[in-house]
Amino acid sequence: MSQRSLVLLKPDAVRRGLIGEVIGRIERKAGWTITALELRTLDQDTLEQHYGEHKGKPFYEPLMGFMQSGPVVALVVEGERVIEGLRTLAGPTDPIAAAPGSIRGDFGTIVRENLIHASDSEESAARELKIFFPGLV
């Protein structure tokens, strides 16, 4: 079954020049297609919509600051089992726990600045895509 997922290349990935590397890994996955891509600086409202479920948690404010520290690349990826596949490609949030070959395993340095976001379910993907690409939904 074909799915859609939101992917965000976070400010640390952009700053470190990893856009091409990460997008290349996505493009090389057979059956996946990037159907939208945009470089943008996220505003407070967009971030609050996206991360609202975490409001009040200790990491919320640092996360909001980090995500506003520079531009991100937002993209829509479509394909068979793309949600599960992108989560595997990204690897666990902790780069020490992430396997070599995953994005975080190969390039991650600290938990808070973890290079990439990928939707974790079809429901999350639908919600997130409405926030970042309302014209595609």
User: Would you call 28 helix, strand, or coil by DSSP?
Assistant: helix
Q: Which of 104, 117, 118, 133 is catalytic?
A: 117
| H runs (alpha helix) in the chain | 11-15, 19-28, 44-51, 60-67, 82-90, 103-107, 122-132
Would you give the distance in Å from CA 63 to the centre of its chain? Answer: 13
> What is the rounded distance in angstroms from the CA atom of residue 47 to the CA atom of residue 34?
22
117 labelled catalytic: yes
Q: Which 3 state secondary structure label does DSSP give 62? A: helix
Instruction: Kindly list the catalytic residues.
Output: 117
